[in-house]
Amino acid sequence: MKLQEYTRVDQARSLYFDGRHDEALIEAEVLCLSPEPLERLSGLLLKACIQAERNEFSESLDTLKIAGPLIDAAPARSKAAFHGQRAFNRVKIGRKNPALVDYEAARFWASEANDELSQVSISNNLAKVYSDVGRYENAISESDRAIQLARKLNERIYLGRCYDQRAQILNDHKLYVEAVRWSEKALALLGAHPASAEARLTHGRALIGVGESYLDSPDPVEDFRVRREIVNSIHVSLSPELINLALERCEGNIKRTAQFLRVKHQSLQGSINRFELRPHQKRHVKRSIIAK
């Protein structure tokens, strides 16, 4: 029975980390009704986490209040999750000083539990709080710590979140060109994960910042450099429909189509092969000028 219950906790967490939040919330609600205190605590912590992902920060804090009486008897890992989530919510509603205290408590318990994934999240979130209160050097130091640990653990989604957070910090300090580079890496790692929505906003803010801050620069070299940065940061995927339309306009000539789309010939040919397209080049037959 115990094995089945703990398997349910693992299943709920797995659904959450896969971005399947609706299914994870259903599992969390079931766990919240468990007669086992640790099971119930796991469900409440996961529910609070999902609520925060949906920007329901006050609701998440209410859920944590329910979990509060269960924390004293909980293992170090659960204590770290509790303090880390409460700190995150407090930041979102503007209570940053209490959040710093919670994050330090979360760091202590995560270290006690040897929970490196939690340490990544704590340092990553703490970096943004330091940035918000004007402590830029502390922010970069915490961000570096989170990134290095996420790389060590080879956790793609965690690393993508760290890159996005770094870009947000750089945006806050108007370092937009650097922010574009970090946010671009974040988007590449996050893919279709729900966290990519926030990363796209970060990336857009960086691009707008680049445009507003630098495009009117009197220095032509700086102006050119930044324009290239913007162009290189915008990736447009080739779709089969787009390729076919371009091929029609270029009468099936792949080389001319590549020039028309401003992509490399080999890249276009690779896309044609991948999508199994079969362009037919039109033949122009000269008609005889002699009437038959």
Q: 112 with 140, same domain?
A: yes
Q: What is the pLDDT of residue 266?
A: 81
For the segment 72-76, the average pLDDT, to the nearest whole number, is: 92
- 3-state SS class at 252: coil
Q: What is the pLDDT of residue 114?
A: 93
For 229-270, what is each residue's pLDDT tens digit? 666 655 556 778 888 888 888 888 888 888 877 778 887 888
What does the DSSP assignment read for 153-198? HT-HHHHHHHHHHHHHHHHHTT-HHHHHHHHHHHHHHHTTSTTHHH
Q: Last residue of a domain, which of 134, 153, 172?
A: 153
Average pLDDT for the chain: 84
Q: What is the CATH number of the domain that holds 99?
A: 1.25.40.10
Q: Last residue of a domain, which of 153, 169, 203?
A: 153
For 192-226, what is each residue's pLDDT tens digit? 888 888 999 999 999 888 877 766 666 777 667 66
Number of domains, the chain: 4
Q: What distance in Å separates the CA atoms of residue 119 and residue 152, rounded to the nearest whole number?
A: 12
Q: What is the pLDDT of residue 182?
A: 95
In a domain, 291, yes or no: no
Q: 128 with 139, same domain?
A: yes
Higher pLDDT, 190 or 222: 190
In a domain, 289, yes or no: no
Q: In which domain, by residue range, is 250 found?
A: 240-281
Q: Last residue of a domain, which of 30, 48, 67?
A: 67
For 83-123, what is each residue's pLDDT tens digit? 999 999 999 999 998 999 999 999 999 999 999 998 999 99
